A and B are shown apart, each in its own frame.
Chain A
Amino acid sequence: MSGEATAPLIEARKVTRILPGIVPTTLVRDIDLVIRPHEFVAITGPSGSGKSSLLYLLGLLDMPTAGEVLIEGKVTTVMTEEERALARLTTLGFVFQFHFLLPELTVIDNVMLPMRALGRLTREEMRTRGAVLLSSLGLADHMDKRPDQLSGGQRQRVAVARALANEPPVILADEPTGSLDSKSSAQVFEVLRELVHGHGKTVVAVTHDVAMAERMDRHVELLDGRIVRDDMHRLESQSV
C-alpha cells in the first residue's frame, strides 16, 4: 500500500475516554487508529458503541482520559486550549448531524465565520472564497439567505462549505446524513466522496447507515467502545 509511506494525519494511541460520575461510563477504550491522507473512512457501530465519542476525540473536541491523539504528528494532549482551537480551525473541518449553522447569520456569513476567526484573508478574499465554495456545492443562489430558509440537504451542504472554509486537510462528519431524506443523503454523500476523490481531502464520517459505509474506502466498526473491524474496501483509491 502506498498509503503506508505517508505520514498519518490523525493518530489515536491507546485512547480511552471515561465520563466521570457516580457510575463512570466508558465511552471508548484502548483505541488505536491511524488516519492517513486521502482516506475516506466510515466509522459505524450500534448506538452507544462510542463512534461519535471517538470522532470528538479525533477532532479535539474532547480530551481522552488516557492515551493520546496526534494531529499531523503533534501530541495534542499537551497543547493549550488556544493551540487546540487553532488546530481545529486550520486542520479539521466539522460536519454534524444537525447543520449547526448560526441562525442569525446569512449563509455566506456562516461560511466566512471560520475564515474570519483565523483572519488570514482580507474581507473580499473571504467573500470570494466563500462564494466559490458555495457555488461548487450548488448553493450559488442561496448565499444571502438565512439557514432557516433552506432545505435540510442545502443546510448540510452549507455546513460542508463551512467545514472547508480554511482548507483543512481533514473533514470529520458526525452522522452527516442522519437527519436527511434519502435523496438529500445521496447528495451529501456524493459531496463527501468528491472531496476525497476529487480534491484529495481526508474524510472521516460516523454513520449508522451500513450501506453507505460499505461504499466508502475504509470501514471501521465499533462495539462497546472497541474497534472490532477495520476493512479497506477500495485499495485502488489509495493511489489517487
Chain B
Amino acid sequence: MNLIFDIAWTHVRARLRQTGVAVAGVATGVGFSIMMASLMQGSQDDFIKQLVNAMAHITVSDERRAPPPQPAERLYDAAEIHNLTPEARRRGIKNPLATMAALEPWLPGGIAPTVRVQAIIRYASHDVATSIVAIDPRREGLVSDLPQQMRGATLAALYRATNAIVIGDRLSEKIGARIGANITLQTSEGARMNAQVVGFFHTGVRSVDESTAYVLVKTGQILARQTGLINELRIRLKDPMIARDIATRVERETGYKSVSWEEAHEDLLSAFIIRNIIMYTVVGAILLVASFGTYNIISTITHEKARDIAIMKSLGLSEFTVRSIFVVEALMIGLAGSLAGFVFGYLLSIGVGSIEIKSPFLDSNSLPLAFSYKHYLLAGFVALASSVIAGYQPARKAARLHPVEIIRGAT
C-alpha cells in the first residue's frame, strides 16, 4: 500500500545517517559475498579448466563395460554360464578410422586416435612407471592443449628423431633427463626401446606432468607390439559441460566404453560440492552479520517512533499496517544495501583480480575470477531476506504496542 511506503520512506529519510550505516553494513556484506563467490567460482572454474584441458573430455577406450554375453545366453533365456574365462580378444578399437569418420559428422568438437601403453622409463638408474601416449601431432591440437603446453620445442619435434619422445617437465626433473637424452622404455609385454627426449610439456596438473610421455602413433604401436593398433579415441568438445551426454551417445553408437571427464573425476567434483557448501556458509554468515545493522536501525526507529505508532494505532491503523511499515523500511535498507553492494562487490572483484601474484603453483599471475549474475542475485536475495527477518521482530513488537500506554505516558 502506498501509505505504508510513504511513512516508511519518511522514517528512513529522517534518520539518514543511521540508515546510511545500516545500508553500508548490508552493502559491505553483499560486496564481500560477491567477491568471495566470484573468487571461489573463479578458482574452481580455473581448476576445472586445467583438469579438463589436461585430458580429453571424453576417452573412448577399447574396453567394454560388461563382458560380452555368451552365444548360448543370447539364444536361450534360461541359459546361464558360469566360470568361463572371457575369450581373449585382439586389443584395440576395430576399424578406428571408420569409427572416427562415423562420429565426426555430429560430434561438436574434435577427435584424435591414440595408442596408450604402460611402460617403465629407465634413465640413469631411475625407473619410473609412465603412461605412454602415442599421438598424431597433426591431430593433437584438436583434442588437447599439448601444442601450447610444450616447453623447449614444438610438438613437430617428434618427427625429428627416430623414436622421439616428449615427457612431462616434472618427470624430466625426476629422472634428470634433458633434451637429447637417450632413455629406455620397457613394457610389460617385454618390448624394449631406446628413445630420445626431444621436448618437455607442462600441463599444471602434477599427476600428468609426472608420469606421462608422448610419442608418435607408429612408435606406440611398436611398443605395444601390434601394428595398426589404436586403443583409444580422445574427444574434445567445444562445451566440456555436455561431455556426459555426448559420452553416453558415443558409447551407444560405438559399443566402446566412453568415459567423460566428469566420470573420471567424480571424486574431485564431489569435493567441489563440499567447497561450495563451505563457501555458501561463509557468505551466509557475512550477510547475517550485516543484517544485525538492519535489526539495529529498525529497532531504533521503532523505539523512537513509539509515539507515532501509538498515534497511528489510535487513529485506527491496523497492526498489520504498522508492522508492514517497518518491514518495508527493512526492505528499503536491504534493497539499497544490495544495490550498493552489487557495485561494491563488482569493484572489489576487479580490485582483487588486478592484484599480481607470483606463485610457483599458479600458471597465471593474477587470481582467477568468475563473474556471474547468479552471485549477485543470490547475495541480493539473502541480504533482502535477512533484512526482512531482522526487521520483522522489532516491527512486530512495535505493532503490538498498546497506544494507551504511550499516550498515558505522554500526558
Interface residues of A (CB under 8 A from B): 52, 56, 59, 61-62, 81-82, 85-90, 92, 94, 96-98, 100-105, 109, 113-114, 116-119, 162, 166, 174-175, 178
B312 in complex: contacting residue of A113, A119, A174, CB < 8 Å: A113
Min CB gap B57→A, angstroms: 62
Contact A94 B315 (CB under 8 A): yes
Q: Considering the chains assembled together, what is the distance between the CA atoms of A175 and B7 in angstroms?
A: 27
Q: Is the CB of A104 within 8 A of B411?
A: no
Closest to A90 in B: B316
With A59-B314, A116-B2, A117-B317 known, 8 other A-B pairs at CB within 8 A are: A52-B408, A62-B404, A85-B316, A90-B316, A102-B311, A114-B315, A118-B316, A178-B411
Q: 13 A-B pairs, CB-CB below 8 angstroms?
A: A62-B402, A85-B316, A85-B318, A90-B316, A100-B314, A101-B311, A102-B311, A109-B6, A113-B315, A114-B315, A117-B3, A119-B1, A175-B411
B116 within 8 A of A: no
Interface of chain B residues 1 through 24 with chain A (CB within 8 A): 1-3, 6-7, 10-11, 13-14
Known: A104-B11, A104-B14, A117-B3. A61 touches B403 (CB 8 A): yes
Q: Which residues B397-411 have CB closer than 8 A to chain A? A: 402-404, 407-408, 410-411
In the assembly, what is the distance between CA of A162 and CA of B318, in Å? Answer: 17
Using a CB–CB distance below 8 Å, which chain B residues touch chain A?
1-3, 6-7, 10-11, 13-14, 307-308, 311-321, 402-404, 407-408, 410-411
* A81-B319, A174-B411 given; A104·B10 CB < 8 A: yes
Query: What residues on B are CB-neighbors of A103 within 8 Å?
Result: 308
A56 to B314, CA, bound (A): 9
From residue A175, how far is it (CB to closest CB) to chain B in Å? 7
From known contacts A100-B307, A102-B308, A102-B311, infer whether A117 and B407 are also in contact, taking CB-CB under 8 Å: no
A105 contacts which chain B residues (CB < 8 A)? 7, 10
Within 8 Å by CB of B404, from A61, A114, A162, lies: A61
- Point out the residues of chain B lying under 8 angstroms from A85, CB to CB: 313, 316-319
> Please, which residue of chain A has its CB at the minimum distance from the CB of B411?
A97
| Contact between chains at A82 and B404 (CB < 8 Å) | no
Chain A's closest residue to B410 (CB) is: A98
Known: A97-B411, A98-B410, A174-B411. A89 touches B315 (CB 8 A): yes
- Cα distance A178–B410 in the bound complex, in angstroms: 13
With A82-B320, A104-B14: A61-B314 Cβ-Cβ less than 8 Å: yes
CA gap between A105 and B9 in the complex, in Å: 11
Q: Are B10 and A86 in contact (CB under 8 A)?
A: no
